[in-house]
């Protein structure tokens, strides 16, 4: 390791020997150790701490989160405390009708300062950075602030929720313990996904689960077998009505007045094993292919005398870039699936039952790997990548202000949230016009291919390939970061997809005037809009949220 690397990295150096032995940077070794420890500690919340007081459960989440932050970032971890402190003071003092706007502005300014500091002083020194957790914390504090600004019940905005009702109304400012435990909860602090306040409070303060109550489990399975997840209004012996639309938290066992009400949550063991296995597979794939398909080759495009610039055809360059970006995505699949397994192992992320009565543990899911890799259009890709960040963007940007600039607001906020590298803005500009263009083309072309099944299958194949090409073309600058190689990449391809997308904008509209987020919202409660790109740096930058 270089001297500059050790000089700057503030995290623990206890495992330097392991880093040297396996050849991974120390900060990534610390990240993996912290996440594995979190996976093991998460089980405490389902067993010994299941019936502990809410204050104690809050405290454990907070203490572990702070410990992980200090272990991975050393003195830089002060920032993950300062930002919540600053926003909590604003939460207490700012006018309620402006509280969301004020906290969004303040937190984005704080985050932007750290983005600029890293970009100017130590872009390439290390891979794990404090801006990653700060990006997650920014999402948490701003989503809560806008809920309080709206002064209404916090209808669930989690992109994976099966129900639009909420178990908890956020109609008052949380206590300091609640607020800091929520913002620094260890389960998703390191790499997301964002956990919204109602989901966190339901996890901490919701009805205590009882995994052995067979009667309750049978009742829940029967209720959940309804595809609409709705139950008819009825009354228990206590005379209390059961709501017609509810989440799994509302499925309370109807018992006598002197009996404890309980709900059954199935064991997440299978979901945890499945996600840990997927995470390991993604990590192995990344480590196997990262050197073979290195982004450093694409960076050579800025040198007109390099072999890449002189000899590679545009088609081969696009194929190589596709494989490079795929390898980068594997890193994020690994981190997100592992983080989701941590959530599930502590009992967070249960999303009811499917129509066959099988438990679903996808409420904290940030990525649908197969949905993204085999998306047939930009809308499907957007719906499958970084899903809870998409929900956050919808809540704080898309649904705020006039309808005319909704898409522009989403992409602008997402770009600013990521940082100031030029590659981000090239990607989001391309993504913006591709999103609108794809909607126009789909409205005009798709009806022509619905006459027969073979023709429709041919159309699906063409759109699958086209989407993969467009995704690669748009996201290469995001992982390259810098302006010169990004423009060289586009130049090698003659800016072809930009011109095609701009030309498609002149196609006649479908008359509905719906934006991409509106289309996503109408299609599924699980979708919203953001760029389907890695929320972090290039292949040697792990900043996931």
Has 122 been annotated as catalytic? no
535, 134 Cβ separation under 8 angstroms: no
Query: What letter does residue 234 receive in the DSSP assignment?
Result: E
Cα 427 from chain centre? 18
Given 30, 386, 388, 535, the catalytic residue: 386
- Rounded to whole angstroms, how far apart are CA atoms 81 and 66? 8
Is residue 144 classed as helix, strand or coil in its secondary structure? helix
CA proximity to 331, closest of 375, 382, 295, 371: 295
Reply yes or no: is the peptide bond before residue 396 cis, omega within 30 of 0: no
Question: What is the pairing mode between strands 241-242 and 234-235?
Answer: antiparallel
Please give the backbone phi and psi of residue 241, each rounded to the nearest 5 degrees, phi first: -75, 150
Any residues with CB less than 8 A from the CB of 224 and at least 6 apart, and which? Answer: 248, 251, 352, 353, 354, 357
Any residues with CB less than 8 A from the CB of 435 and at least 6 apart, and which? Answer: 378, 379, 382, 407, 516, 529
Q: How far is CA 286 from CA 124, 129, 162, 282, 354, in A?
A: 19, 20, 33, 6, 33
CB atoms within 10 A of CB 110: 18
**Burial (Cβ within 10 Å: 0-12, 13-18, ≥19) of residue 179:** buried
- Rounded to whole angstroms, how far apart are CA atoms 56 and 62? 10
- Rounded to whole angstroms, how far apart are CA atoms 197 and 170? 8
> Where does 24-77 have alpha helices with state H?
26-42, 54-73
Has 498 been annotated as catalytic? no
Given 418, 421, 535, 540, the catalytic residue: 418
Active site residues: 386, 418
């Amino acid at each position: 390791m270089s001297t500059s690397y050790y000089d700057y990295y503030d995290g623990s150096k206890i495992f330097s020997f392991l880093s040297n032995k396996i050849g991974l940077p120390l900060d990534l070794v610390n990240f993996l150790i912290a996440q594995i420890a979190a996976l093991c500690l998460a089980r405490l919340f389902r067993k010994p701490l299941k019936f502990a007081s809410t204050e104690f459960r809050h405290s454990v989440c907070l203490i572990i989160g702070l410990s992980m932050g200090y272990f991975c970032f050393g003195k830089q971890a002060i920032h993950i405390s300062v930002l919540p402190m600053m926003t909590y003071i604003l939460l207490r003092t700012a006018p309620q009708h402006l509280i969301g706007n004020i906290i969004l502005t303040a937190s984005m300014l704080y985050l932007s300062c750290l983005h600029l500091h890293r970009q100017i002083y130590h872009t390439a020194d290390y891979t794990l950075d404090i801006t990653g957790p700060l990006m997650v914390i920014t999402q948490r504090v701003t989503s809560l602030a806008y809920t309080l600004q709206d002064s209404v019940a916090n209808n669930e905005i989690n992109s994976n929720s099966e129900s639009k009702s909420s178990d908890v109304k956020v109609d008052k400012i949380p206590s300091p313990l609640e607020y800091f435990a929520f913002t620094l909860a260890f389960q998703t602090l390191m790499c997301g996904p964002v956990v919204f306040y109602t989901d966190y409070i339901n996890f901490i303060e919701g009805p205590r689960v009882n995994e052995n109550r067979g009667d309750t489990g049978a009742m829940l399975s029967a209720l959940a077998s309804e595809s609409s997840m709705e139950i008819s209004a009825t009354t228990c012996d206590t005379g209390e009505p059961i709501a017609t639309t509810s989440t799994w938290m509302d499925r309370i066992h109807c018992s006598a007045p002197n009996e404890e009400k309980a709900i059954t949550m199935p064991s997440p063991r299978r979901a945890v094993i499945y996600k840990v296995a997927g995470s390991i597979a993604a990590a192995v794939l990344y480590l196997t292919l990262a050197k073979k398909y290195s982004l450093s080759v694409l960076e050579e495009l800025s040198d007109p005398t390099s072999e890449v610039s002189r000899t590679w055809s545009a088609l081969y360059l696009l194929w190589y870039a596709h494989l490079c970006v795929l390898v980068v995505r594997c890193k994020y699949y690994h981190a997100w699936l592992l983080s989701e397994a941590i959530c599930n192992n502590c009992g967070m992320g249960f999303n009811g039952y499917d129509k066959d009565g099988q438990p679903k543990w996808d409420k904290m899911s940030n990525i649908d790997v197969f949905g993204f890799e085999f998306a047939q259009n930009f809308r499907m890709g957007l719906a499958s990548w970084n899903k809870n960040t998409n929900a956050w963007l919808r809540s704080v940007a898309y649904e705020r202000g006039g309808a005319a600039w909704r898409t522009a607001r989403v992409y602008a906020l997402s770009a600013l949230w990521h940082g100031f590298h030029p590659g981000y803005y090239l990607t989001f500009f391309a993504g913006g016009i591709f999103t609108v263009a794809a909607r126009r083309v789909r409205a005009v072309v798709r009806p022509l291919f619905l006459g027969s099944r073979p023709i429709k299958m041919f159309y699906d194949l063409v759109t699958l390939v086209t989407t993969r090409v467009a995704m690669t073309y748009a996201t290469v600058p995001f992982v390259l970061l810098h302006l010169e190689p990004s423009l060289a990449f586009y130049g090698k391809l003659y800016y072809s997809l930009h011109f095609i997308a701009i030309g498609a904008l002149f196609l006649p509209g479908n008359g509905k005037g719906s934006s991409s987020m509106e289309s996503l919202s109408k299609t599924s409660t699980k979708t919203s809009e953001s760029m389907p790109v890695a929320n972090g740096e290039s292949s040697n930058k792990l900043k996931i949220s």
